[in-house]
A and B are shown apart, each in its own frame.
Chain A
Amino acid sequence: MQINNLEAILEDEGIVFLTYGGLLTQSLISGMTDALEKESKVNEMSMKVSHNLLTIFIELSQNMMNYSKNSSLQDSGLNSKGLIIVGYDKSNDSYFILSRNILDAKDKEKIIPKIEQVLPLNNDELKTLYRELRRSGRGKHEKGAGLGFVEVARRCDKIEYSFSKINDSCYYYIFKAIINNS
């Protein structure tokens, strides 16, 4: 049974609280956020860990929702292949949020410097950058101003990301945020 294979894969990653593949909508995101909030209570997560997890989940899933509206992707017929997994990794007592979606080359080039900008920064530097980006003028609110990645970086302990090529214009974009439990 292939479903068993899928479960085995998920078990290898640890305990999976939530996995979703497909097109994201705001109501789905809020339903999943609700479910994660309940799961965090069942698992007796500290409020700090659980709110970091929820905030990163919201940030990554809303990002995916926005990128899936990209018109060049909609033309390619690939746009619905979003995947988001939230789980717990027993081996190092940490939670993770993994997202995978398809980006065109242009969005890929936009995203890389934003992630690379936050990776080397410590907490104080992230806070300074966050405040700088946030004060960038009233009403200026273009999507993807970069505040989201700083928010994610402030709330997790490690970020991993990669791209793999699907064809000349599209890439799988995989992003993983890891939150240490203790």
Chain B
Amino acid sequence: MKNLTLESTKYTPDIKLDADTGIISMVGKSYPENTFEFYQPVMDWIEEYFANYAKNKTTVNMEIIYFNSSSSKLFFDFFDVLDEAKENHNIKINWIYDKENESALEAGEDFIEDFENLAINLVGKD
């Protein structure tokens, strides 16, 4: 499976979806104009990955500094895909935030409450 890499812009995160290592990462800000169009290739890749190519262990690193409400919805849908895939796959999720960034921490806590059965770790960075 081809890896998917999207370089960050001023309003979209750095995205690396690596089928060889099983590491999925999104780092940066997220407030594109057309959020769902922008993330469609990411969502397609994830579905395809878990359907046919997933490694024994998949690690998801999310480090989103701030995001608009449609990105919030999109990340919810993204976690929803992970939630379905967890039955057959070993998935570890790190929600990484700056320790001073209270709202990023709260966003991570919201996802933990919404997806009780996903292994989401809050990782505070200094």
Contact = CB atoms under 8 A, between A and B. Distances in A.
Real binding pair: yes
Interface of A: 26, 29-31, 33-34, 46-48, 51-52, 54-55, 58-59, 62, 65, 127, 130-131, 134-135, 138-139, 141, 145, 147-148, 150-151, 155
B17 interface: no
Interface string B38-54: 00000000000000000
B101 interface: yes
Interface in B14-45: 31-33, 35-36
Contact-residue bracket for chain B: 20 to 34
Nearest to B11: A30
A114 B72 CA distance: 18
B104 to A, nearest CB: 7
B110 A47 contact: no
Contact of A62 (B10, B33, B65, B98): B33
Given A47-B100, A48-B102, A48-B103, A62 B31 contact: yes
A55 B68 contact: yes
A138 B68 contact: no
A135 B76 contact: yes
B47 to A, nearest CB: 11
Nearest to A127: B110
Contacts of A65: 33
A151 B114 contact: no
Nearest to A46: B100
Nearest to A143: B70
Interface in B74-123: 74, 76-77, 80-81, 98, 100-104, 110, 113-114
Nearest to A146: B69
Contacts of A51: 65-66, 101-104
A134 to B, nearest CB: 5
B73 interface: yes
A131 B69 contact: no
A59 B33 CA distance: 11
A47 B101 contact: yes
B73 A141 contact: yes
Nearest to B65: A51
A141 B36 contact: yes
B69 A148 contact: yes
A150 B110 CA distance: 14
Contacts of B32: 26
Contacts of B102: 47-48, 51
| Top-4 shortest CB links A-B | A26-B33, A30-B10, A47-B100, A147-B69
Nearest to A52: B103
Nearest to B35: A141
